[in-house]
Amino acid sequence: MSNSANNTNTTIENSEVNQTNDKNNMADTIETYSSILQKQNTKNNYDVEDVKPVFILETDLFGNTKPSRDQFLTHIELYKTIDATICPASHLKGLQRVRGLWRIYFDSDIDRESLITSGITIRNKYIQVYSRNPRIIVNERPTYLKVRVKNVPCSAEDGQIERSLEYHGCEVIKMYRERLRVDGLLSNCQTGDRIAMVAPLSKALPRSVLIGKYRATVIHQGQENHNQAEISCNKCLKKGHKFSQCPNDWVCLHCNKQGHRQAECNSHLSESDDTEDDNSDEDKSETEDSGADITINTATNPQ
């Protein structure tokens, strides 16, 4: 009897232990699934917020006339239109309508820029795509300064350029790569120039900056050309401008007088004539002096 009772107690204890372990495993499993879902949701939210949306207005489609209910632009219609004309629908992250304003979210900047460049055709009507909310007038700090960086290959990282600008005292607010505009439309082709929006500068940036192994040209409004004062004009002999920009008359290199070039200068000819006259006068005086000496000698020593 005692043995069977012990076996029964042992079985009950093992069963309770197994149930406890199962509950712990289930809790761990639930926690694991919960953490995975949370990570996925966090990632999805990050993806949506990471790429800025583009905007379209229903007024561009319907005008100022309020459409009837059966003419409303629906999520499904816009979804299928983008899938058929812009990019695969799998690249879409969100379609949101708020009071006639549509926000379109993509998973990459490539599709976003493609839609901005090409626009979208809905119901056989071309609709403009806005890169920012057209209903909000944004004051983007007009004191921001636009800095253009040239002569750096497209393969170079923008971080190098940003660090170089910061080294020269710039507070870089935003930097992007300029794209080629063809027939008024923005293309996906890059020009190689980087455009940086920076806070107001205490002093102008140098026009030539070493970025990595490249010698870049930096241009911005109000920048002084420090070499301008060293430029000398070959026409008027003044500094500060080149021959092609000279509004002045010719100045002779020989006599420094205006109105003629060095090749047309007569001053050296007149100087030569004066020199020859002086030499001839000296020769003449020497001849007269020698003649007088001969006369005196003849008078004092008659033969």
Tell me the β-bridge partners of 241.
Answer: none
SS3 content of the chain, % helix, strand, coil (to 5): 45, 25, 35
Number of C-beta neighbours around residue 267 at 10 A: 14
Q: How much is the pLDDT for 117? A: 86
CB 204 within 8 A of CB 223: yes
Half-sphere exposure (Cβ direction) of 276: Cα atoms closer than 13 Å: 6
**What is the architecture of the domain spanning 228-274?**
Irregular (4.10)
> Between 185 and 179, whose confidence is greater?
179
Half-sphere exposure (Cβ direction) of 42: Cα atoms closer than 13 Å: 6
Compute the distance between CA of residue 95 and CA of residue 76 in angstroms, rounded to an integer: 10
Taking CA atoms, 131 is separated from 14, 51, 70, 136, in Å, by: 66, 11, 29, 12
Q: How much is the pLDDT for 287? A: 52
Q: Please, what is the average pLDDT of the chain?
A: 77
Among 279, 257, 283, smallest CA distance to 268 is for 257
Q: How much is the pLDDT for 132? A: 87
Q: Percent of the chain scored above 70 by pLDDT?
A: 67
Q: How much is the pLDDT for 46? A: 43
Q: How much is the pLDDT for 190? A: 92
Q: Say whether 228-274 and 145-220 share the same fold.
A: no
Q: How much is the pLDDT for 45? A: 46
CB 200 within 8 A of CB 235: no
Domain ranges of the chain: 54-127, 145-220, 228-274
> Which of 93-107, 140-154, 171-185 comes out lowest in average pLDDT?
140-154
Please report where in the chains the tokens 């205006």 appear, as a residue: 258
Measured CA angle at 274 (ends 270, 280), to 5 deg: 145
**What is the architecture of the domain spanning 145-220?**
2-Layer Sandwich (3.30)
> What phi, psi does 217 have (nearest 5°)?
-105, 125
- Residue 35: pLDDT band (50, 70, 90) is low
| pLDDT over threshold 60, residue 25 | no
Q: What is the DSSP letter of 134?
A: T
Compute the distance between CA of residue 244 and CA of residue 167 in angstroms, rounded to an integer: 36
- Residue-wise pLDDT for 235-276, tens only, equals 888 877 777 778 888 888 888 888 888 888 887 555 555 555
Q: How much is the pLDDT for 227? A: 54
| pLDDT over threshold 90, residue 103 | yes
Compute the distance between CA of residue 124 and CA of residue 56 in angstroms, rounded to an integer: 15
- Residue 286: pLDDT band (50, 70, 90) is low
Q: Which long-range contacts (CB under 8 A, 24 or more apart) does 105-111 make?
A: 105/48, 105/51, 105/53, 106/51, 106/54, 107/47, 107/51, 108/51, 109/51, 111/86, 111/87
**Mean per-residue pLDDT for 15-31?**
55
Tell me the β-bridge partners of 56.
Answer: 102
Q: How much is the pLDDT for 294? A: 47
- Residue-wise pLDDT for 42-80, tens only, equals 444 444 557 889 999 999 888 888 888 888 999 999 999
- Residue 202: pLDDT band (50, 70, 90) is confident
Two structure tokens written together for 113: 């820029």
Taking CA atoms, 147 is separated from 139, 172, 232, 233, 240, in Å, by: 19, 10, 29, 30, 25
> Which of 7-16, 80-89, 204-213, 225-234 comes out lowest in average pLDDT?
7-16
Q: How much is the pLDDT for 303? A: 47
